[in-house]
Amino acid sequence: MMASSYSAKEEDGHHSGAPGPGGVNAKSRKPDNTAFKQQRLPAWQPILTAGTVLPAFFIIGLLFIPIGIGLYVTSNNIKEYEIDYTGVDMSSPCFNCSQNYSWNSTKPCTCSVAFSLDQPFESNVFMYYGLSNYYQNHRRYVKSRDDSQLNGNLNSLKDPSKECEPYRTNDGLPIAPCGAIANSLFNDTLELYYNDPNGTKIPIRLVKTGIAWWTDKHVKFRNPVGDGSNLSAVFQGTTKPVNWQKYVYQLDTDPDNNGFINEDLIVWMRTAALPTFRKLYRIIEKQGDATPTLPRGNYTLLITYNYPVRSFEGRKRMILSTISWMGGKNPFLGIAYITVGSVCFFLGVVLLIIHHKYGSRSNNADIAS
């Protein structure tokens, strides 16, 4: 019976995997009796019960709370001063500028805002400008740039990417740098003066290099052709972005900070993630150990008001901040850590109670009940 069925199995050949004729030499189809194939690999089988996870909760709690406290203290030690100079209010010194100014204005409008610092800023102070309600993360805005052009590619310089449309060419000439991001470059100029108690305004030295990522400045952004000693020649045949007052090779006098490697441009081109953002504008370096970088006292912020924000009801701010190892001031992380740590600890306690009350049920002797 058995033997006869073998010949039967060949019929019409539509069955797969049927054992072939069981001849002497036929290899046995017996599966290997290995741990893997028989699914008997040594395994760790954790069972989540109150008893087993208790330590984890307590450890998390005990770790997170100190970290949170540390973060909170660090964040609190950061000194930050923020001033809104948009000029929405009538009383604001920049009200006039904000009302009149548009992209097409040729005459710069300046205004100055006075403020005072209650506490001295000891270490290096970072000066930011902040924009609110500014959606630099808009999809089509983010896309509207030509990285190849910014990297100094000559072809892209003359023939920018389609992504830059409609800020690709102007009057038949390619725009350098092309695209909506570059076109909307933040072009307010901020100057800071310390009002010495004796009445003189001492300008504070604002370092404008070192504000961009090193890699951006040295790798990603490059002027076309070498060092760009003669940038105007290099950018010959291109035109400035529509909203710009000057050409890209006129951004700065310092050749190392001009053209595409102008750090203000680079910083601007790194589009912000959230609609309320700040961007690093200048660095006020600590002069020496004796004096604080920004001593307590009155200051004046002199603004060349170029950048219109009324169209999107935005706000412009100037921010002075020291930084720590964790960056700028942000109490959230510290609080969050403390909270989560406490919750874990609390859960640990609850589980401990549960374990004591019901844990016996998971004891071995009683499993079968």
Partner 1 sequence: MTHSIDRLSCCFRRRENTGDSETTPLLRAPPQDPEIPLPAALHHVFPNNGPLSPSHKKVMDRYAGNKIRTTKYTFLSFLPKNLFQQLYRLANIYFVFLVAINWFPQMEVFHREITMLPLVIVTVASSLKDALEDFRRYKFDRIVNYRAASVYDWKQQDFVLKCWKDVRVGDFVKVVCNEVIPADILLLNTSDPNGVCHMETANLDGETNLKQRQVVRGFAASNCSFQPEHFGGTVVCEKPNKNLTHFKGYLAMPEKKKIGFGRESLLLRGCTMRNTDSAAGIVVYAGHETKAMLNNKGPRYKRSKLERKMNTDVLFCVGILFIMCLIGALGQYFWLGTFPSTPPFVPPDSSNVYIPPSLSGFYMFFTMIILLQVLIPISLYVSIELIKVGQIFFITNDVDLYDEETDSRVQCRALNITEDLGQIQYVFSDKTGTLTENKMVFRRCSIMGTEYCHKENALRLAALDEAESDEEDPAFPQKKVPSRLQFLKGKSAAALRRCNSARARIGVRGQAEVTLSPHSDVAFSSPLETDVAPDWRLQRITGDEAGQMEAWGRVSRIGGGACYMDFFLALAVCNTVVVSTAMHPRQRVTGPLNSSTLKSLGHIQTLLKRLGSLSHVIASLHSIPEKSGPTSPASPASPAGPPASVPAGDEVDRGGVTDSGSLNTSLEDSEADLPSSDDVPTETSANPNSDGLCYEAESPDEAALVHAARAYGYTLLGRTPDHVTVRLPQGSLLTFEVLGTLAFNSVRKRMSVVVRHPMTNEVIIYTKGADSAIMERLAKSAENQPEENKRKRIAAKTQRHLHLYAKDGLRTLCIAKKVMSLQAYTDWLAVRQEAESAIDNREELLMETASHLETNLTLLGATGIEDRLQEDVPATIASLRKAGIQVWVLTGDKQETAVNIAYSCRLLDQSDVVFTLSTASLDECNSFLDCTLEEVKRYGVQPPWQSSPRGLRGPTFGLVLEGHTLGLLFEAGLQLRLLELSRHCRSVLCCRVTPLQKSAVVKLVRDKLKVMTLSIGDGANDVSMIQAADVGVGISGQEGMQAVMASDFAISHFKHLKKLLLVHGHWCYSRLAGTVIYFFYKNVAYVNLLFWYQFFCGFSGTAMIDYWLLIFFNLLFTSVPPIVFGILDRDISAGTLLSLPELYKSGQNSEGYRHTTFWVALLDAFYQSLVCFFVPYLAYQGSDIDVYSFGTPMNTASLFTILLHLAIEIRTWTVVHWVVMVGSVLLYFIIALSYSALCINCNHPSNPYWIMENQMADPVFYLVCILTTVLALLPRYTFRVLQGTLALSPLVRARQLDMLSPQVRDSLIREWRNQESTSEAVPDQVLSSPTKPGSPTEPTVDRGLTLHKDGNEDTGNPFSPGHRRSISTMTI
- Considering only residues 32 to 61 of the shown chain, the ones binding partner 1 according to CB under 8 A are 32-33, 37-39, 41-51, 53, 60
If binding is defined by CB under 8 A, does position 22 make contact with partner 1?
A: yes
Among 195, 271, 304, 342, binds partner 1 (CB under 8 A): 271
**Distance between CA atoms of residues 109 and 132, nearest Å:** 21
If binding is defined by CB under 8 A, does position 167 make contact with partner 1?
A: yes
8 A C-beta contact, residue 302 and residue 190 = yes
**Distance between CA atoms of residues 94 and 359, nearest Å:** 69
If binding is defined by CB under 8 A, does position 29 make contact with partner 1?
A: yes
If binding is defined by CB under 8 A, does position 237 make contact with partner 1?
A: no
Structure tokens at 339: 């909270």
Closest to 282 (Cα-Cα) out of 135, 131, 124: 124
Residue the block writes with tokens 């199995």: 9
Largest Cα separation within the chain, whole Å, is 118
8 A C-beta contact, residue 76 and residue 95 = no
Contact mark string toward partner 1, 123..162, x via CB under 8 A: -----x-x---xxxxxxxxxxxx-xx--x---------xx
If binding is defined by CB under 8 A, does position 337 make contact with partner 1?
A: yes
Q: Of 11-19, 85-93, 252-260, 295-303, which segment contacts partner 1 by CB under 8 A? A: 11-19
**Distance between CA atoms of residues 251 and 263, nearest Å:** 10
If binding is defined by CB under 8 A, does position 2 make contact with partner 1?
A: yes
Instruction: Give min distance, CB of 166 to partner 1, in A.
Output: 4
Among 79, 217, 220, 282, binds partner 1 (CB under 8 A): 220
Nearer to partner 1, 37 or 296 (CB): 37
8 A C-beta contact, residue 181 and residue 141 = yes
**Distance between CA atoms of residues 60 and 66, nearest Å:** 10
Instruction: Give min distance, CB of 263 to partner 1, in A.
Output: 13
Residues 6+ away with beta carbon under 8 Å from 274? 137
Count the site residues for partner 1 by CB under 8 A. Answer: 123
Among 59, 77, 245, 310, binds partner 1 (CB under 8 A): 310
Q: Of 14-22, 93-101, 107-115, 196-204, which segment contacts partner 1 by CB under 8 A? A: 14-22
